[in-house]
Amino acid sequence: MESTIQNRRSREEPRPCIWMQAEVVGKKTCNRNYNCPECPFDRAMKNMANENKRITKAGRTQRGKRGSIISWKDKLKELPTWKRPCIHNMKGHIDFRACTNEYGCADCEFDQYFSDQYTVIATVRPINYMQIKGFKVPQGYYLHRGHSWLKIEEGAEARVGIDDFALRLLGPLDRIESPLIGKEIYQDQPDISVYRTKNKANVLSPISGVITSINPRLRETGRLANDDPYTEGWVMTIHPKNLREDLKNLMINRESERFMGEEVEHLYDLVEETAGPLAADGGYLGHDIYGSMPQIGWKNLTGLFLKT
C-alpha cells in the first residue's frame, strides 16, 4: 500500500525562507521544512502583499517598508524567464530549473511529476533473505563491495539502498541524504551521505545514471533504513546509464554470500583485536556495532568496510 508523507518540521538546519530568496525581505530562515501553509510569517507576508496590491489598484500608495512588500511570486516575475527559479529548486529539492509557468504550480506538468516522485513512498514487495552469520542478504539483489545494493525494476529503473551489514555496523542513523532528483551519479562514487550525531560517512553508488526519485523520509528518520534496509529503507531510484557494464562490477546470490561471509569474518577479527573477546548476541553481532564498541573508531569502520 502506498503512503503519503505527512508534513513535519525538518530536523535539518534552517534554510533560507522563500521570501528571502526572492529578495522581498532580508535575512529570514525557514524552520518548517518549507511547509508554507502552516507558517505564520508566510501568512503575514501574503496579507501585507495583498493589502498593498489593493491599495495600489485604488490609486493610493502605502508608505514605509510595509508599503514595499509584494508577493514573492510577483518579485521573481520581474526577472527574465530563464532566471526565475522553480519552487522545488528554492526548497532545495532539485538543481536549478527555470519556472516557465508564471509560478502557476497547479497547472505545471513538472510540479505534478515531481510531487508524484517526491512525496509518495514507493512500495517494495517483501523479499527472501539469506542469513549469513546473522546478517541479511536479499536474494535477487545486486551488492556493491561498499555495501550498497541495487534492485532492477520494471521500466529500466533501478532502486538503490544500503545493506544490512553497513547499517548494523554504523547503528541507528539520524538521517540519510542522496543527491537531488535529476542529478547524474556514477558507480563507485560517494553519492550517499549518512549521519549519526556528529559523525558522517559516505556510501558508494552501485550504479551510474540519473536520479529519478528519492526517499525523503530518510532525511528526517535515517533509522528507517536500519529497521527495514531492503524495502521501506530504500534511498533512491536511478535511470541507469550503462546497466550491462555496471552489473559486471556487482555481486549477486552466491557471490554475495561468499563476500558477506568474508566481511563478517573480517569484522570479527577487527572487534577482537580492538575490544578483546567478542561480545555476542545469541552468537551473532548486535544491531549497533559502533555504538557498542566506539573504541573501534567511526573512520576506521567506514574506511575498511564502506571503502571510503
C-alpha cell of residue 55: 491599495
Q: Where does a domain end: 104, 120, 136?
A: 120
Residues 68 and 52 in one domain: yes
Question: In angstroms, rounded to a whole number, what is the distance separating the alpha carbons of residues 238 and 191?
Answer: 12
Residue 222 is classified by DSSP as: T
Same domain, 134 and 283: yes
pLDDT for residue 124: 52
Residue with cell 544490512: 164
Per the DSSP assignment, residues forming a β-bridge with 200 are 195
Is residue 45 within 8 A of residue 24, CB to CB? The reply is: yes
**What is the rounded CA–CA span in Å between residue 144 and residue 256?**
9
* Cα pseudo-dihedral 114, 119, 121, 122, rounded to 10: -20
Looking at the fold, whether 109 and 248 belong to one and the same domain comes out as no
Write down the pLDDT at residue 284: 62
Maximal CA-CA distance, the chain: 83
**Rounded Cα distance, 100 and 106, in Å:** 13
End-to-end CA distance of the chain: 36
Please indicate, yes or no, whether residues 176 and 259 belong to a single structural domain of this protein: yes
Where residue 165 sits, what CATH number does that domain have? 2.40.50.100
pLDDT in tens, the chain (308 residues): 233 323 333 344 578 999 999 999 998 999 877 878 778 899 899 999 999 888 888 888 777 778 889 999 999 999 999 999 999 889 887 888 889 889 988 778 777 666 655 544 444 555 688 899 889 999 889 999 999 999 988 767 899 999 999 999 999 999 999 998 889 999 999 999 999 999 999 999 999 999 988 998 998 899 999 999 999 999 999 999 888 899 999 999 899 999 999 999 999 999 888 876 654 444 567 899 999 889 999 999 999 999 98
**Helix or strand (DSSP H, E) at 72:** helix 72-76
> In the prediction, which pLDDT does 281 show?
46
> Rounded to the nearest 5°, which phi and psi values hold at 27?
-65, 120
Residues 148 and 98 reside in one and the same domain: no
pTM of this structure: 0.64
Look at residues 67, 102, 120 and tell me which one is the last residue of a structural domain: 120
pLDDT of residue 120: 42
Describe the crossing of helices 298-305 and 254-275 by its angle, rounded to 10 degrees: 150
Which of 67, 98, 120 lies at the terminal end of a domain, its last residue?
120
Q: Is the CB of residue 29 less than 8 Å from the CB of residue 17?
A: yes
pLDDT score for 13 = 58
**Domain limits at 222?**
127-308
Q: Are residues 110 and 131 in the same domain?
A: no
CA–CA distance, 87 with 93 (Å, rounded to integer): 9
DSSP string, 241-306: SSHHHHHTTSEETHHHHHHHHHHHHHHHHHHHHHHSS---BTTB--S-HHHH-GGG-HHHHHHHHS
Cell numbers found for residue 6: 505527512
CA separation for the pair 287, 257 (Å, rounded)? 19
- Domain check: are 232 and 159 in the same one? yes
Are 281 and 161 in contact, with CB atoms under 8 Å apart?
no
Q: Which residue has the cell 525562507?
A: 17
Q: Residues 109, 68: one domain?
A: yes
How many independent structural domains does the chain possess? 2
Cβ-proximal residues to 179 (8 Å cutoff; 6+ apart), any chain: 185, 191, 211, 236
| Contact in structure between 183 and 214 (CB atoms under 8 Å) | no
Q: Are residues 151 and 78 in the same domain?
A: no
171 plus 293 within the same structural domain: yes
| Other CB atoms within 10 A of residue 220 CB | 17
Q: Do residues 268 and 289 lie in contact, with contact meaning Cβ atoms separated by under 8 Å?
A: no
Q: Using CA atoms, how far apart are residues 304 and 308, in angstroms rounded to an integer?
A: 8
Q: Are 94 and 217 members of one domain?
A: no
Looking at the structure, do residues 132 and 236 belong to the same domain, yes or no? yes
